A and B are shown apart, each in its own frame.
Chain A
C-alpha cells in the first residue's frame, strides 16, 4: 500500500451529556454539542439532510479548508474524491422511513425527499455535491473497521492514479436507534454511545508536495479470521502493516484501539502479541464514547490534534487497530512529524 500524507483534517468531537429525549435509554452519551446544520452549512440544500450527512459534509468541508484546498460546487474538481466509512448509514433515517410504511394509512405514504437518506452513500454523495468533488466517490460499510478499509481504498485510488487527493472520513450520528442497538447487543456494559465525524484530506506521500499536518499513514492492512479467529487476524494485520511500511515493531510507541469497553483489552493484547512489546495504550472510546465506524477516525484525529497542540514533543509512531463484527480486523501505522 502506498504511504499517504495527511494534508488537512476536519473533526467534530463529542462531549458527555444526558440525552433530553425519553426514547433514549437512561444513560450518558457523547454528543457533538451545539452542532446545527443550518447554522453550519446554511439553509440552501440542507433541509432534508439527516444528522449523519450534515456531520460528514461539515467534516469534509473543514478538512479541505484545513488542507488549503479551495472546494465548492462552483469549481468542481475531477481529481478529488471522497470515501466515507459507516456501519449502516443513518440507521435513524432508514428505520424511521420504514416506520412510515407501517404506521401510515397507506404503506406508500412516505416522504420521497427522505428516501435518499435511507441509502448508505447519501453522506458521500452530498459531500461531493456540496464541495464539487467529482472524483471517485465511495462508501465503505464495516462498522469499527470501515475507516481503516476506507484508508486502504483511498490509498488504492491514489496509487492507481484515479485521483490526486482523497477526502477519507467517517460519521456516526447519535440516535436512540444506535444507543439501543449498543445496549441490546452488549447488555448495557461498555462505553457510552458516541457520535462524531472526522475527515482527512490525503495524498500520496511521494507526490512531491509538502506541508499539511505532516502526519503520514505509512501502511494499512485488513483481514478476516473465519471461525472465531479474529484476534489472530488482527495480529496478522499488524505484522503486514509493519512489513509493508518497513517499520520495526520496536519503533511503535503507542497503540490506539477501538475496544468498546474500558475492561476490554483484547485489541491491545492481539496487537502487542504481534509487536512483541507493550507500548502505551490509548482507548478512543474512553474519551469519546463508542462512535462505531467513526471511532478509529477520531483516534487518528486525536493523534494529529495532540501533535498540533504540542509541536515541541518528539513524534510518535502509532499503531491504530480495530476489530469489527464477526472476524473482521484492521490496522494502520501512523507516524507524526519529527519522529526519529
Chain B
C-alpha cells in the first residue's frame, strides 16, 4: 500500500494556503514581527512569528471559534485548507467518514487558554472559583484533533500526539501507518501551536532565544524565535487518490522514530543518526537517494551542530543541501515539522529548494553543510527528508518522494 500526499494546508506567518506559502518560501519572505498577542514589553527580546492574517471566522465553516482555543482553530483551519486543496468531497467519501482520521501534533496544546486560565486565577488573588467554565473547557490538548474532526465531519480516530517539537512528523508517521495497515483511507495529519508568553519566557531563560533574527547554520546564530501556526497535509492511499482522480503532489515513503533517552532538552547526535537510518530503511531509500534535507534547524548553536554532525555521520561527503525554514517563520513548535513537510512536498512538486535566510557566515564546525543560503534554488528533488527533533529526545523523521 502506497501513501499519497494530495492536499496541503499551511496557516503560516508567510502565507495562508499552499500558493501563498510556496511563494513565501521561494521569495525567502520573513514572517517575523514584533509580538502583539501578549504584552512583551517586559522582555528584552520581543520578536516572534505570529500569524497576523489569521481570521478564524473566515477560515472555518463549521467550527464556532468562540468555543475553541487558538491552536485548535489553527489545526481546523489548516485541515479545511488542505481538504479544499485536495478537492476532497467530504460528504461522499467512498469508504465512509469512519475511515477518515485526524492526527494532530502539538507542543503546548491550548497554551493561550492555559495562560488566560492562569491570568484569571492571579487576578482573583490566586483563587480558582471565579474562572469561566467555558475557558476551562478549552484547555485539554486533545481538542486540537477534535477541532479538525468537527470542522470536516470526520468520524475516524481523532488523536492528538503531544510529542513536542517533532509532533507533526509523529502525526504524519502514524497517519502513514494507519493507511498502509488498512485502517484508514484518508488521514489529515499535521500540527498546531500558538505563540504564548510562557514559552517565550522559558526559551529566553534557557538562553535559546535569538536577539533579532533566526539564522540557522550561520556561524553567529544565536537561537530560535517562538512562532505559531497550523500545518496539515491530506494523506490517502494511492488507490483512494487515483480512484477519485486526485492530483498527487508526492508520495510519503516512510518514517523513523526513536528516543535519545539521555537528556530532557539537549539533543544527542548518535541517536539522531540512528533515527535517520531507521527512517531511510522504513522508506526504502539510501543516503544517496536523498536530494534535500528539510532540517529541524532551530538556529541555536548546539542544536544545529548536533543535527549537522548526525547528518554528516550518515551521509558523509554526499550530504545533500540542508535548509531550515525556521529562518523564515520561526519555531512553530508542534507545527514545525508539519511546515517542514509541506515545504518538502512543494520542493518535490515545484522543483526548488527553500532557502535558509539570515545567513551570512559559514560555520567551520558545520563543514559539509550547504544551507541553501538566502535565495531559493531550482532543483530536481526526487526524495526529501524532513527532520523533527524535540524535548524529551523525541526524534521523528519523515521521507517524501516524487511520484514514480
Question: Contact residues of A with B, CB < 8 Å?
Answer: 1, 23, 25, 73, 76, 78, 81-82, 86-89, 91, 94-95, 97-103, 106-108, 110-112, 115-116, 118-122, 124-126, 128-129, 131-143, 145-146, 149, 152-153, 156-157, 159-160, 162, 176-177, 180-181, 184-185, 222-227, 233, 236, 240, 324-328
Contacts and interface: CB of A to CB of B under 8 A. Distances in A.
Nearest to A76: B261
B296 to A, nearest CB: 16
Contact of B142 (A25, A87, A116, A240): A87
14 contacts: A25-B129, A88-B110, A88-B139, A121-B390, A121-B391, A134-B259, A136-B258, A137-B393, A138-B394, A142-B142, A222-B157, A223-B156, A236-B155, A325-B146
A149 B392 contact: no
A225 to B, nearest CB: 7
* Most A Cβ at <10 Å: residue of B108, B259, B391, B393: B259
Contact of A94 (B114, B119, B149): B114
B67 to A, nearest CB: 9
A55 B106 CA distance: 23
Interface in B125-142: 126, 128-129, 131, 133, 136-137, 139-142
B259 A143 contact: no
Interface stretch (B49-57, B195-203, B345-353, B381-389): B195-203
Given A124-B392, A224-B157, A327-B158, A108 B164 contact: no
Contacts of B265: 115-116
Given A110-B202, A124-B392, A233-B155, A136 B259 contact: yes
A97 B162 contact: no
A115 B331 CA distance: 17
Interface string B205-216: 110000000000
Closest 3 CB pairs of A and B: A125-B392, A137-B259, A120-B162
A95 B135 CA distance: 14
Interface in B97-133: 97-98, 102, 106-111, 114-115, 117-119, 121-122, 126, 128-129, 131, 133
Interface stretch (B6-14, B173-181, B222-230): B173-181
B393 A125 contact: yes
Contacts of A86: 141, 162
A152 B201 contact: no
A97 B137 CA distance: 20
B87 interface: no
Given A103-B122, A133-B259, A95 B141 contact: no
A1 B117 CA distance: 39
Contacts of B128: 23, 25, 176-177, 180, 184
Contact of A223 (B144, B157, B174, B205): B157
Interface of B: 42-44, 97-98, 102, 106-111, 114-115, 117-119, 121-122, 126, 128-129, 131, 133, 136-137, 139-146, 149-150, 153-164, 170, 174, 177-178, 181, 183, 197-199, 201-206, 257-265, 271, 274, 278, 390-394
Given A125-B392, A136-B259, A224 B156 contact: yes
B391 A116 contact: yes
A102 B118 contact: yes
Nearest to B160: A141
Contacts of B390: 121
Nearest to B144: A141
A30 B263 CA distance: 33
Contact of A108 (B114, B205, B274): B205
A143 B163 CA distance: 15
B118 A99 contact: yes
A236 B142 contact: no
B177 A160 contact: yes
Contacts of A98: 114-115, 118, 197-198
Nearest to B68: A326
A102 B119 contact: yes
Contact of A128 (B143, B201, B261): B261
A226 B126 contact: no
B392 A128 contact: yes
Nearest to B139: A88
Contacts of B155: 223-226, 233, 236
Contacts of B205: 108, 110-112, 115
Contact of B160 (A99, A125, A140, A162): A140
Contact of B198 (A97, A126, A157, A184): A97
A160 B177 CA distance: 8
Given A95-B114, A101-B201, A185-B136, A134 B258 contact: yes
A141 B140 contact: yes
Contact of A134 (B106, B141, B174, B261): B261
A129 B141 contact: no
Given A97-B202, A181-B136, A224-B155, A81 B259 contact: yes
A97 B200 CA distance: 12
Contacts of B264: 116, 122, 125-126, 129
A95 B118 CA distance: 6
Contacts of A108: 42-44, 201, 204-205
A133 B201 CA distance: 31
B393 A180 contact: no
A327 B201 contact: no
B149 A129 contact: no
Contacts of A128: 259-261, 392-393
A185 B133 CA distance: 5
A140 B162 CA distance: 6
A331 to B, nearest CB: 12
Contacts of A120: 106-109, 141, 162, 164
Given A135-B259, A149-B159, A327-B146, A119 B177 contact: no
A156 B177 contact: yes
Given A138-B394, A185-B133, 19 more contacts: A91-B139, A94-B108, A98-B118, A98-B198, A102-B119, A108-B42, A118-B199, A129-B261, A138-B257, A139-B163, A142-B145, A146-B142, A162-B257, A180-B129, A222-B157, A223-B157, A236-B98, A327-B146, A327-B149
* Most A Cβ at <10 Å: residue of B98, B139, B145, B157: B157
Contacts of B133: 184-185
B202 A222 contact: no
